[in-house]
Structure 1
Amino acid sequence: MTISTSDHPHTALRDEIRAEALRLGFDACGFASASDAWPNGDWLRQFVAEGFHGAMGWMAETLDRRSHPTAMWTDARTAVVLGVNYGPEQDPLLALQDPSRAAISAYAQGDDYHEVIKKRLKALARWMHGRFGGEVKVFVDTAPLMEKPLAQRAGLGWQGKHSNLVSRPFGSWLFLGSVLTTLDLPADPPEVDHCGSCRACLDICPTKAFPAPYRLDARRCISYLTIELSGPIPVEFREALGNRIYGCDDCLAVCPWNKFAQLSSEAAFHARETLKGPSLAQLVRLDDAAFRALFSKSPIKRIGRDRFVRNVLYAIGNSGDAALMAVVEPLLADAAPVVRGAAVWAAGRLAARQLSSLGPPIEETDQDVLREWRALAG
């Protein structure tokens, strides 16, 4: 790997680009070779071969393009890797304490980061092309580019045992984007792993999604289950969801490196008031129009109303609040099968809780009802 040195002919150029990136609002900027050999393509092939990608078929379909930056663009020589801090106002784990309210991943409580970051990436790319020439292409998450390994190579952080990026100055909270260019720029020193013997992120996972350090089985991950999976969430994971209705921050939030994290200076990433622990009873009533209105310019909008309400119903089933049966019952006849199924499960859980709270003796007829609800709930 090429390491930056003061005598590289383009060191000054790199420093200008970094200064412009920070001026545009990026919080971190690093440089890595886009053409050097790297082992991450082999890691990704193993991940897919073991089926850890679950229903994300696009990962298998774009496997070759994802294997190396030059597989997408053969002329790429340098990756300019950018980070934007989205540090939350409070510890996301606090949202798990009230089962009547929804826990939403910190990254999704503000505006869609794709749109915010893409505008800045395009501005930086235009500036680079206009000032230094060379061809440029921008990427933010949705493109088949492995940004976390690139970010580690560029010195922005390291991939922790949970496979996410950890930054010394920003903890777990960095959005990533990249500009690939044909310019040959000096690379920054790569970041080294600072996890040590810590395994907090592995131990806290509610669904045991890490078969080993640095390996994630997405099929067991709550973020995957609540966002990427379109059908019913497997019964074995529903109770572990708790009140998490969109994503999960547990493995990120528990990281000790968050002691250095700081609140994001980007107002667009601050949590909307409507998404700070919203009521499950209110969210489950959303029809398609209300869902779209509430989540305008939000990444949550991508999963659609049906999948979202499915998640809320699972959370209601886990709440233990029998009073919520009133908002569940109308959804037993919802037009969407995935909503109806989740409503049956939630109603069964609430009915079982209500009957058990009556205490002994339970009449034989009540026992029959309880058995029926449990059977329906899976």
Structure 2
Amino acid sequence: MNFQLELTIIFSRELDDRFFNDLLKKIREFLGSIFLRGTYSANRVFIVMEGAGEASPLVLDFVNFLNEFCKGYKTGIRDFYLPYYELSFNFDYVGKIEIPFTEAVICNGELCKVVFKNLEKEYLKNKFADRVVRLIKLYNQKSGWKLLYESEYNVGEYFNPVEEMEKRNYIKRGIVKKEFFYLPKGANLITKLRKKIFSELKNHYCLKKIISPSYIPLRLLEDHTLVEYIPKDILKNFFVCKVDKKFEEYYLSCKLQNMKSECIGVLYSEIPLTFYKAFEGKKIKENELFYFHDRINTYIILNYKKENLNIFKDILETLKLKYRILINNLDIGELIRFEIYIANKWKNILEIHTSDITKNFKIKNNKISCIHINFENLLIGYLSQKNFTDKISQQI
């Protein structure tokens, strides 16, 4: 990645030739070869530079350096901004891309140029330009899922397992489409599956049940260190926005500007940010495991270990199910997904999300895994692969 930029610095008083010449020596001393030229007018200095990388941290350090130097002249820096800032990087995409807060984004199949104009100092902080580049690369991002493992168990002929569950009084359809009630027969099986998995986990961890809120407070959404972990669906489902690209605007600005919501928080439990907030500044012991439930899902938070994957793999092997394991290395961490074969389709039953998000909350652990188990899909897959035999409950 390379940059070209124009920097305007506004001082607390008008400059003269003597002060500017002394200032110019310090500018060359700090910037070296990336400095191209500089001039001044009244109380403003105009600097042009180009170099490699993303320049925001450099500009911030540079302005702080000049501010310290200027104290000897009883002069301060009142403000600064970038009238022009251009980033270019290799990118296999052709066409123009509309990104909020940018003047233009043009890609020719080999190189992508991003142009900002009149970029204020607030946008040089909090990795704003890095997020712009990451957002652009999403336009050409291919699926990163890779197959780790697939079991060899055979399954029977195709049929609709949900209809069969209804016939056999496991469930009863509700008013809302694709929603249903679990009758005692079905609820009992979900309870058995949950107990089986937790009995296995007790052999490895000290289980501690917690009550976790199922929403993220809006103030956490506007924490710039957490923006990377917030999915698009949150804004789509909970906010009304005046602009078309509301996720892009939020992602880049870290603010819910131009958006309206009647709620105090948003429902999202796959990465329980409220849990991490509660443990801010603390350390989770090596053998501790926290969990909480909703109707058909269980969420587990535990220390990252490579054997976590094998624990769940062994559980599914004892149930003799046809399943597969996929992995996706994301910018925000590693995502492992277990999928079960249901009616000629693969359905997600378990996800292990591992990242260093704990650093944002100063939790004294290297990594923590958040595990989401969908017992509804697990039950449907289990019943369909076992062909609803009469002794199915005894086999768990």
Q: TM-score, structure 2 length as denominator? A: 0.25
Higher strand proportion: 2
Higher relative contact order (CA 8 A, sep 6+): 1
Specify the structure having the higher radius of gyration (Cα): 2
